[in-house]
Structure 1
């Protein structure tokens, strides 16, 4: 049970960092670092037979990677919306002057 709590805590921290990297930084590649590390790590774990690939052992890895990629996509969308909002404010200010 404690292993599950620790794993979920680490996943939550990684997701928060992932969202921050993808939503706040200008370059979209920063947000792709954590999903890339997770994909490479998953391939290494299963290729080196640290964990035997089965439906029960593969599912958590796929779930975590898909959540991370989802965070990356939603963070980039938020970044683009924030930039568009800033451009709209600048245009409105230019029109006023």
Structure 2
């Protein structure tokens, strides 16, 4: 049951990140990665208690890269959508 809840939390975080990344304000998409870095810095010693340091670093890095790539792709989608709307408005003005 704990795994299901964990998976649902991860999916919810990714959906929220995708939503915030495609808003007009570009800084909204940076909220979740900044919170992630803050939480990791607070609980860093507890995460490093086990002797498998390399896998912990890999997991932390992959998660941060995933959040940042979601932010970047959301911004690109927003820019394409905005440009498409501007092109449509320009076409109507002609």
Name the TM-score class by shorter chain.
0.7 to 0.9
User: Helix, strand or coil: the match of 1:68?
Assistant: helix
Residue from 27, 30, 41 that aligns with 1:29:
27
Listed as ranges, the matches of 1:1-97 within 5 Å are 2-23=1-22, 25-46=23-44, 49-52=45-48, 54-95=53-94
Question: How far apart, CA to CA, are the structure 2 residues paired with 1:50 and 1:33?
Answer: 23
Question: How far apart, CA to CA, are the structure 1 residues paired with 2:72 and 2:48?
Answer: 31
Q: Which runs of 5+ in 1 are unaligned?
A: none
User: Helix, strand or coil: the match of 2:91?
Assistant: helix
Aligned residue pair count: 91
Q: What is the TM-score of this pair, normalised by structure 1?
A: 0.84
Q: What is the TM-score of this pair, normalised by structure 2?
A: 0.86
CA RMSD of aligned residues (A): 1.5
Question: How far apart, CA to CA, are the structure 2 residues paired with 1:19 and 1:29?
Answer: 13
